[in-house]
Chains A and B, each alone.
Chain A
């Protein structure tokens, strides 16, 4: 059976001068899959995700989305192609409320003359934001409070909801559960589940937390010193096996 992968990278390499952050990495992600990207600090996880999200441009190699070759020059390119990224630093504007953050940079304008003048349609943005918040089961004490008044966990859930709201086929998550409380982690994992269940969507998660990885993912990719050293189905492996690949105890 041959399916077109949602995401395929071929020989992705990124070097900074003589330092090679990513070496010849080829991966495939299929629709409906949640794939974890694990590895030690400096293994190249963030570099890989940044290449796919358009933040950095690979030195060589190719990226295919739904079988079509893409070249992202900036995060905007990736986003309009349907690749949504939830950054570790969240990329929220502290003084804006939740709908304002979900529609940040993609604000809706009113129809007609007022739209031509650039007038915002706050009502429509709020309604659509509210629907996504409900769809993905997020809960907030106050939708219209500035996100600077929220806890780190709630802010993470805001960023996750934004990613799920816009992600057309691929969602990239950079450490979505780092430094979160139990309840918020649960909320984040729930959004991941609900997003996957919408069908023909895939998720790539960078995570250090092996328990969370095990809870939601189908497959695990291990990076070590810029190289892809393992591509394991969760059902065929164990946590300690994965850790062995991460630390280099298993040589690939």
Chain B
């Protein structure tokens, strides 16, 4: 009897389709161009970060300071933009993101501290710093809402909001890079067998450092997108972004052991999270329960990762 075999990615796509179909039938206002576009826009900021996070987890690294990094970059941007100009603000916002990356790289690559500990400290430090920069206020920024408000008109047929375009560009870049380049190839090797990677002459430290630099670019793009969408930065800007991005990457099939997974899996997971979020809001579920749902999804993702890895091992031993 032929057995039905489905891959991890197919299983995730199936979950997404079931969620969409279920909500299209049972959740009022879910099915419609406006709401579906909304879901994509809301998933974009998480998605941008999740792409860079996918690369890190593939190489057995992690960055839980990303939310705070987005917060710091955003607060530096709006404060400088308030007193100087938009462009100088943007430049300083980017420098702030690079600064976070540099601190992470020095601690992880040079001092050899585990990335989870370094970035845990960073999560607190940079969040604190961004509150210092903002002096605890919320600061609005003028003339910077086109990314959040305007749409790209494609031949008069379809209008695409900019956050989706930015996410799509980031996703395509990471997909191409991780699949086709020497760098992407070596990152998979580092995650799968770090010892073998070192013995064959791969520069683990240098390659990991580059991934944190790429994360700085992602942080900057996510910052621009989210600030533009709300027109301001506050002490809570970017909060819990690390958690959402990590949930997406693990749910997307990279797992904590590294060496496998793609940004396509991450994309599907980002969409699953965005659909669940949207459906909970539309159904009028209390905000507290939404938190419970998000956290449970991360727990489920980690358990799923563990179970699928055990199953892989048992198959290997039979051979």
Interface residues of A (CB under 8 A from B): 55, 74-76, 79, 85, 87, 89-96, 100, 104-107, 109, 117-120, 148-149, 151
Contact = CB atoms under 8 A, between A and B. Distances in A.
Interface on chain A toward B: helix, strand, loop, or mixed SS? Answer: loop
A90 to B, nearest CB: 8
Contacts of A55: 199
Nearest to B316: A148
A87 B197 CA distance: 13
* The 10 A-B residue pairs with the shortest CB-CB distance in the complex, in nearest-first order: A105-B200, A76-B201, A91-B199, A118-B181, A91-B196, A105-B201, A104-B200, A107-B182, A95-B192, A105-B202
Contacts of A109: 182
A95 B259 contact: yes
Contact of B185 (A76, A90, A91, A120): A120
B319 A119 contact: no
A93 B189 CA distance: 6
Nearest to A76: B201
Nearest to B203: A76
Interface residues of B, number: 22
A122 to B, nearest CB: 9
A89 B180 contact: no
B316 to A, nearest CB: 6
28 contacts: A74-B201, A75-B198, A76-B201, A87-B199, A90-B196, A91-B195, A93-B188, A93-B196, A93-B197, A94-B192, A95-B188, A95-B192, A96-B188, A104-B197, A105-B186, A105-B200, A106-B200, A107-B182, A107-B185, A107-B186, A118-B182, A118-B183, A119-B181, A119-B182, A120-B180, A120-B181, A120-B182, A149-B319
Contact of B316 (A74, A87, A100, A149): A149
A79 B193 CA distance: 19
Nearest to A151: B319
A74 B189 CA distance: 19
Contacts, number: 70
A188 to B, nearest CB: 19
Given A91-B196, A93-B196, A118-B182, A104 B189 contact: yes
Nearest to A92: B196
B102 to A, nearest CB: 23
Given A75-B199, A95-B259, A119 B180 contact: yes
Interface in B266-289: none
Given A91-B196, A93-B196, A106 B316 contact: no
A68 B175 CA distance: 46
Nearest to A80: B201
A14 to B, nearest CB: 19
Contacts of A104: 189, 196-197, 200, 202
A55 B195 CA distance: 12
Contacts of A93: 188-189, 192-193, 196-197, 259
A117 B192 contact: no
A7 B86 CA distance: 64
Given A104-B196, A107-B182, A120-B181, 13 more contacts: A75-B198, A75-B201, A87-B199, A92-B196, A93-B188, A93-B196, A93-B259, A104-B200, A105-B186, A105-B202, A106-B201, A107-B185, A118-B181
B259 to A, nearest CB: 5
B260 interface: yes
A207 to B, nearest CB: 20
B182 A94 contact: no
Contacts of A118: 181-183
A46 to B, nearest CB: 14
Given A89-B195, A93-B196, A104-B196, A79 B183 contact: no
Contacts of B195: 89, 91
Contacts of A96: 188-189, 192
Contacts of B180: 119-120
A96 B201 CA distance: 16
Given A118-B183, A120-B185, A91 B192 contact: no
Contacts of A75: 198-201
Central interface residue in B180, B183, B200, by most chain A CB within 10 Å: B200
Contacts of B200: 75, 91, 104-106
Contacts of B196: 89-93, 104
A76 B183 CA distance: 17
Contacts of A117: 181
Contacts of B198: 75
Nearest to A150: B319
Contacts of A94: 192-193, 259
Interface in B169-225: 180-183, 185-186, 188-189, 192-193, 195-202
Contacts of A151: 319
Contacts of B183: 118
A148 B315 CA distance: 11
B103 to A, nearest CB: 27
B155 to A, nearest CB: 30
Nearest to B177: A118
Nearest to A95: B192
